[in-house]
Amino acid sequence: MKRTRILALLSLCLGITLASSALAQTTSLRVFSGGQNQRPDLMRKLFDEYQKANPSVKISIETGGATSELQRQYLSTVLNAKDSAIDVYLIDIVNPAQYMGAGWLEPLDSYVGGAAAMKPYLPVYAQSNVVGGKVAALPAFADAMFMYYRKDLLDKYGIQQPKTWDELAAAAKRIQDGEKNPNLQGLSIQGAPIEGAVCTFLLPYWSMGKAFNDAAGKLTLDKEAAAKGMQLWLKLVDQGVMKKNIAEVTTPATVNEFKAGQVAFAINWGFAWDRFNDDPDSQVKGKVGVMPLPAVEGGKSATCVGGWQWAVSAFSKNKAESAKLVQFMASAPASKFLAVQGSLLPTFQSVYSEADVVKQVPWFKDAAAVVVAGQARPMSARYGEVSDAIRTTTSAILARTKTPTEGVAEIESRLQRVMR
């Protein structure tokens, strides 16, 4: 579908009359729209469309923070100061519980009609944005960690998509031995002490069918299973499937090395797809596939969801108008626009299968099943502490400065005081 037609649908979605708008008092809204990966350029187009239908509203954008950690640091500073300069925030999926617990977000129940308004969204996003029975934010777009793979190499060696981690290790070794390229990695994950390392810890653990926390957020860590999951990564390093300095690998490093043709399998977020297929310097254009993450033998595939949410500041002086804007930005037409124009994953399951979306973004037909089965990182009012405990210790285990048993015990000790 052409962009103009989608924007026309968005205008209809607003359902707001323009009559007498010239006489209306202007309301200025300032929106924090994240960094480059959150596509502020596309958000600007949606804001412009909203302004056309609401000429009494003027929207300015603030951007910044190349990573979710940097954005979280900035937002924590602004919100802790009760700054009213920013009305609406684009926040990570891990933040609603944390920010709501701190009193930084305006509950949206009175504006959207309560928690029932979350039913159209994918379950993981509906659940993550309701905190203490109150709607803390509305989903903007989804994200998840995918297993990207070189279709050409699997076809060359007659390899089927691996279903287990052991099958992936065998497939990777077969490709590496066949290619005889010393620079070719079998699998790339994120082992540096960044937010992605939280998922690195959880992925093999979840794939054993284990839960990290219960519905109330209380820690339910199975230490033996968690240590086994970390040992799985170390085994892949010892087998030569993953590089020895995996504890230093960041999200951009995985993207750039896969894009350069130096990786057979790679775990990374949804934004990487366009980098692999559209970047002028990509060596793997048209050679990339997406599949569910493998599981341990007898377990089930699981992935780590990300994604971004629209939230209204508790300190905004324009809460009602901000809530209207958030509802528009979190609507199904807006989700479809972001999917078609930016390959940003929809938060509505129905959008994945719409013919014009699949035509424009064919890989969504494979992505949908991965996202729907995704799990959220721990929802905690003290998520910063949760993240720090998991990611720093995970990196230390991968650097072999702690054993898996020691590291998992440390994570449990630190989080028992936080996730009660």
CATH of the domain at 177: 3.40.190.10
State how many domains the chain has. 2
Q: Say how far apart CA 308 and CA 95 lie, in whole Å.
A: 9
**Same domain flag for 288 and 364:** no
Q: Say how far apart CA 112 and CA 55 lie, in whole Å.
A: 22
Q: Which domain holds residue 317?
A: 3-143+306-372
**Same domain flag for 329 and 251:** no
Last residue of a domain, one of 355, 372, 389: 372
**Same domain flag for 290 and 330:** no
**Same domain flag for 285 and 221:** yes
**Same domain flag for 408 and 355:** no
Last residue of a domain, one of 338, 354, 372: 372
Rounded to 5 degrees, what are φ and ψ at 27? -110, 125
| 392: Cβ contacts below 8 Å, ≥ 6 apart | 193
Q: Say how far apart CA 209 and CA 220 lie, in whole Å.
A: 13
DSSP state of 254: H
**Same domain flag for 211 and 285:** yes
Are 412 and 219 within 8 A, CB to CB? Answer: yes
Residue 214 exposed, middle or buried by CB count within 10 Å (0-12, 13-18, 19+): exposed
For 20, 92, 143, 402, the CA distances from 124, given in Å and listed in that order, are: 41, 13, 11, 33
**Same domain flag for 256 and 123:** no
**Same domain flag for 274 and 410:** yes
Closest CA to 72 of 187, 184, 194: 194
The DSSP bridge pattern shows strands 185-188 and 263-269 to be: parallel
**Same domain flag for 10 and 23:** yes
**Same domain flag for 330 and 237:** no
Residue 56 exposed, middle or buried by CB count within 10 Å (0-12, 13-18, 19+): middle
**Same domain flag for 161 and 243:** yes
**Same domain flag for 47 and 138:** yes
Query: In a structure prediction context, what are the per-residue pLDDT tens digits for the chain, which is 420 residues long?
Result: 555 666 666 665 565 444 444 445 899 999 999 998 899 999 999 999 999 999 999 999 999 888 788 888 898 899 999 999 999 999 999 999 999 999 999 999 999 999 899 999 999 999 999 999 999 999 999 999 999 999 999 999 999 999 999 999 999 999 999 999 999 999 999 999 999 999 999 999 999 999 999 888 899 999 999 999 999 999 999 999 999 999 999 999 999 999 999 999 999 999 899 999 999 999 999 999 999 999 999 999 999 999 999 999 999 999 999 999 999 999 999 999 999 999 999 999 889 989 999 999 999 988 888 898 899 999 888 898 999 999 999 999 999 999 999 999 999 999 998 998
